[in-house]
Structure 1
Amino acid sequence: MPITKSNIPEKGKMLPPGVYCPVISLYKPTKTQEIDLDAMYKHCQYLVKGGLHGLVYQGTNGEAVLLSSSEKMDVLRTVRKAVTDLGLPEYPIVAGISGQSTNESIQLAKDATEAGASFGLLLPPSFWAKSVGEEALYGFYRDVADESPLPVVIYNFPGVTSGIDLNSDDLSTLASHPNIVAVKLTCGNVGKAVRLTSIFTPAQFSVYGGSSDFLFPTLEAGGVGCVTGLANVFPRSTARIYDLWVEGRKEEAMRLQEVVANAEWACKKSLALTKFGAGYFVGKKLALNDPKTFWPRRPYLPANGKMQEWTVEVMGVLVEEEDRISGKVCGRGVNGIKESLGGSPITEERPRAK
């Protein structure tokens, strides 16, 4: 019996397909750890030059709950300037707009718009998880999406929302809202991705994996990309899986996927290890030589010596791959139109292997 396809209208502005980096926050090496905007500017341009298709700020990797509203806006203004200075004023910048109240999330969406964001990433409320029933959950997303100037991407990450896990029925219901355009599945549930892509086209509701260690399966299942913390450290390698898949070079994509999956294991352990890896492998390239720049913000602690050694070993499998891939800049155009400087454009509403 055939699956019933959705007949909801295509959305007006969709998150472009590809690999996105949930960018870490970088701090000055002081007791109060002020945001280091110069470091954020440098890191942003490094990631864009690495071929990533978009960036996410003030998500989980960005330590959003530890940043003030003014800090969030300062960062967004800084990175919008960084991409504009690269000649990419329309480069996709996704901003976390997750608050515990509807009012707070709406205000965060308005602030992010003013500061230069392109899309909003929204977790479900979770402060009192038992009170977030189906009616409250749907009402929250619909009310925020009604008033958000930004198209909303649902962020499903039960690990940071007291176990609240949006299932495929929840997501299918919310997908009908004209300003809810996609979902990031950090739950890692590929079956959920299959159920959603069997019903919706990417122009109706796009599906992204929550990390790059299952990017190839996500694409094969009908998804359009991923958001991966490992891209803070190895932007070229993570973006390359997607590019190879789109070009129809699936064997190469799968070979690289295997290496990336092993390197990303360090990111699964803790944010502190992701940040340490970025400092160790990228910091010197950007003249960011103080390890404290890459420490988590208090009260969270940096990785200890044993875990640092382990991270270098685990992530180190990608160093050769990263160095071998030539740099490029993605992001010329939005809504599914990608072009690398000096290369041919990738223009499809949903990536399809040749």
Structure 2
Amino acid sequence: MPITKSTLPKKAKMLPPGVYTPVISLYTSTPTQEIDHSAMYAHAQYLVRGGMHGLVYQGTNGEAVLLSREEKKAVLRNARKAVTDLGVPDYPIVAGISGQSTNESIELAKDAEEAGASFALLLPPSFWAKSVTEDVLRGFYRDVADASGLPVICYNFPGVTSGIDLNSDDLTALADHPNIIATKLTCGNVGKLVRLTSTFSPDQFSVYGGSSDFLIPTLEAGGVGCVTGMGNVFPKSTARIYDLWISGKKDEARQLQEVVAHAEWACKKSLALTKFGAGHFLGKKLGLTDPKTFYPRRPYAPPNEKAQQWTVDVMSVLVEEEDSIAEKSFGKGQVNGTK
């Protein structure tokens, strides 16, 4: 029996397909760990030259809950300047707008639009998890999407939302909203992904995986990309999986997928290990030699020496591949369809 396809019209503005990095926040080594905007500028440009199809700020990897409202705006303005200076002023920048109230999320959406973001990424509210009924959950997304000048991406990550999970029924209902365009499934639920991709075309409602270790399964199932913390460390390799697959070189893509999946295991352990990995493998390339630049913001602590060595051992499988891939150059070219 065939699946009933959605008859929703195409959305006015969709998130371009591909691999996105949820960019880490980098700090000064001062006691209050101010945002190091020069470091983040250099990192942003490196990620774009590394082939990333878009950047995400103020998500989980960006430590959004540890940043002030003013810091979030400043980071987004800095990111937009970084890509504009590279020659790709319309490059996709996604901003996390997750708040615990509808009002807060709407304010963050307005801030993000004014600061130069292109799209908004929104977690469900979770402070009183038992009170987040189906009506509350869906109403929250619809109310924020009504007020947001940016298209909204539903971010599903039960691990940081007290177990609240946007199921396929919720996402199918929310896809009906003209300003809700996609979902990021950090839940890793491939069955949910298939239910959504078999119902909606990518121009009605797009589906992205929440990491690159299942990017090929995501693409084979009808998804259009992923958002991966691994991009902070090895952007060229992670973006290349998508590029190979979309160009029809699926065997090569699968071979690279296997290596990336092993390396990404470190990112799955903790954000502290992702940030350490970025500092260890990428810091010198960016001229960032102070390990404290890559520390989590307090009260969270950097990994101990044993965890650091384990991370180096696990991630090192990608070093040769990463170093073999040439950077992209921009100015008069295009990135992901943007001029």
Normalised to the residue count of structure 1, the TM-score between the two structures is 0.94
Q: For residues 329 and 281 of structure 1, what CA distance do their matches in structure 2 show?
A: 21
Report what 1:66 is aligned to: 66
Could you tell me whether the CA contact under 8 Å between 1:21 and 1:56 is conserved in 2?
A: yes
Report the secondary structure of 1:256's partner residue: helix
Q: For residues 258 and 329 of structure 1, what CA distance do their matches in structure 2 show?
A: 27
Give deviations 1:143-192, integer Å, cap 9, x for gaps.
00000010000000000000001111110000000000000000001111
Could you tell me whether the CA contact under 8 Å between 2:267 and 2:274 is conserved in 1?
A: yes
5 Å-filtered alignment, 1:22-171, equals: 22-171=22-171
Report what 1:177 is aligned to: 177
Going from structure 1 to structure 2, the CA distance change for 1:89 and 1:338 (only over 3 Å counts) comes to closer
Report what 2:286 is aligned to: 286
Q: CA deviation at 1:330?
A: 7.9
Q: For residues 248 and 329 of structure 2, what CA distance do their matches in structure 1 show?
A: 21
Going from structure 1 to structure 2, the CA distance change for 1:119 and 1:330 (only over 3 Å counts) comes to farther
Give deviations 1:5-52, integer Å, cap 9, x for gaps.
000111000000000000000000011000000000000000000000
Q: CA deviation at 1:2?
A: 0.7
Report what 1:316 is aligned to: 316
Going from structure 1 to structure 2, the CA distance change for 1:3 and 1:199 (only over 3 Å counts) comes to same
Letter in structure 2 aligned against 1:136: V
Q: For residues 102 and 42 of structure 1, what CA distance do their matches in structure 2 show?
A: 34
Could you tell me whether the CA contact under 8 Å between 1:184 and 1:226 is conserved in 2?
A: yes
Going from structure 1 to structure 2, the CA distance change for 1:295 and 1:164 (only over 3 Å counts) comes to same
Q: For residues 11 and 329 of structure 1, what CA distance do their matches in structure 2 show?
A: 31
Report the secondary structure of 1:337's partner residue: coil
Normalised to the residue count of structure 2, the TM-score between the two structures is 0.98
Could you tell me whether the CA contact under 8 Å between 2:90 and 2:338 is conserved in 1?
A: no
Q: CA deviation at 1:329?
A: 5.0
Going from structure 1 to structure 2, the CA distance change for 1:253 and 1:40 (only over 3 Å counts) comes to same
Report the secondary structure of 1:126's partner residue: coil
Could you tell me whether the CA contact under 8 Å between 2:87 and 2:330 is conserved in 1?
A: no
Report what 1:193 is aligned to: 193
Letter in structure 1 aligned against 2:143: D
5 Å-filtered alignment, 1:329-348, equals: 329=329, 337=337
Could you tell me whether the CA contact under 8 Å between 1:77 and 1:115 is conserved in 2?
A: yes
Could you tell me whether the CA contact under 8 Å between 2:91 and 2:338 is conserved in 1?
A: no
Q: CA deviation at 1:318?
A: 0.2
Letter in structure 1 aligned against 2:284: K
Q: For residues 286 and 166 of structure 2, what CA distance do their matches in structure 1 show?
A: 39
Q: For residues 330 and 130 of structure 2, what CA distance do their matches in structure 1 show?
A: 43
Q: CA deviation at 1:326?
A: 1.4
Letter in structure 1 aligned against 2:78: T
Could you tell me whether the CA contact under 8 Å between 2:263 and 2:314 is conserved in 1?
A: yes
Report the secondary structure of 2:82's partner residue: helix
Report what 2:296 is aligned to: 296
Q: How many residues align?
A: 338
- Superposition RMSD in Å: 1.3
Q: For residues 68 and 88 of structure 2, what CA distance do their matches in structure 1 show?
A: 27
Q: CA deviation at 1:337?
A: 2.9
Q: For residues 257 and 267 of structure 1, what CA distance do their matches in structure 2 show?
A: 15
Q: CA deviation at 1:270?
A: 0.3
Q: For residues 8 and 247 of structure 2, what CA distance do their matches in structure 1 show?
A: 30
Letter in structure 2 aligned against 1:149: G
Letter in structure 1 aligned against 2:165: D
Q: CA deviation at 1:328?
A: 1.4
Q: For residues 254 and 83 of structure 1, what CA distance do their matches in structure 2 show?
A: 30
Going from structure 1 to structure 2, the CA distance change for 1:24 and 1:42 (only over 3 Å counts) comes to same
Report what 2:225 is aligned to: 225
Could you tell me whether the CA contact under 8 Å between 1:90 and 1:333 is conserved in 2?
A: no
Going from structure 1 to structure 2, the CA distance change for 1:224 and 1:204 (only over 3 Å counts) comes to same
Report what 2:243 is aligned to: 243
Report the secondary structure of 1:184's partner residue: strand
Could you tell me whether the CA contact under 8 Å between 2:215 and 2:257 is conserved in 1?
A: yes
Q: For residues 213 and 183 of structure 1, what CA distance do their matches in structure 2 show?
A: 17
Letter in structure 2 aligned against 1:176: D
Q: For residues 246 and 139 of structure 1, what CA distance do their matches in structure 2 show?
A: 36
Q: For residues 64 and 3 of structure 2, what CA distance do their matches in structure 1 show?
A: 39
Q: CA deviation at 1:273?
A: 0.2
Q: For residues 66 and 169 of structure 1, what CA distance do their matches in structure 2 show?
A: 32
Q: For residues 151 and 267 of structure 1, what CA distance do their matches in structure 2 show?
A: 28
